[in-house]
Amino acid sequence: MNSPRPIVIGLTGNIGVGKSAVLSILQELGARTIDADKVAHQAMAPGGCAYDAVVAAFGKGILDKEGCIDRAKLADIVFTDHDQLRRLERIVHPAVEQRVEEIIAEATEPVVAVEAIKLLESRLRHLSDVIWVVTASRETQLNRLVRQKGLDKDEALRRMAAQSPQAHKVREADVVIHNDGDMEQLREQVVAAWQELLASRGVK
């Protein structure tokens, strides 16, 4: 017999809000976790299913000396031009969606959490049973991007501006996780939401 389909949490939020921290806590709680950004990196690696199309679209100037796509060079292009960002997404998103669907089908855990910044704008939304949105203040986002990601302030602000407002995501959420505090405060919210989800689905 096939195992029952797992409950799928679609986890999203804007850059710098701490989605990865939430995903890590969910993994500790027993969820199978999928980072769509990492799946995209694999798709764009040499030999990956999106590599040739991305290089054809953006030129060999985005490659490093080893022939790998230089993410910083690609980011300079797509985060300053919305049309170029959409172009990249049209190439990469279908490959990511297909791979995520495969991982969900393979999962033996009762819950799968899929983290994706463009989850609501993609087919991943329709694979999700519940939508969790992580939020943080603009100041917190900026500080994290500068301190943790090593971006300068102008670059961080450009990336933040390239995304839809947080309020748009919050309106679509089943669960909102507020992440302006410390890790313990974050963990309390995630554990409470996790326990409520399992209870509502009759999972022990």
Residue 171, number of CB atoms within 10 A of its CB = 10
Number of domains in the chain: 1
CATH of the domain at 157: 3.40.50.300
Residue 108 located in a structural domain: yes
Domain range for 133? 7-201
Residue 80 located in a structural domain: yes
Residue-wise burial string across 95-115, b where 16 or more C-beta atoms lie within 10 A, e elsewhere: bbbebbeeebeebeebbbbbb
Residue 58 located in a structural domain: yes
Residue 144 has pLDDT above 70, yes or no: yes
Residue 203 has pLDDT above 90, yes or no: no
| Percent over 90 (pLDDT), the chain | 85
At residue 186, the pLDDT reads 98
Residue 51 located in a structural domain: yes
Residue 130 located in a structural domain: yes
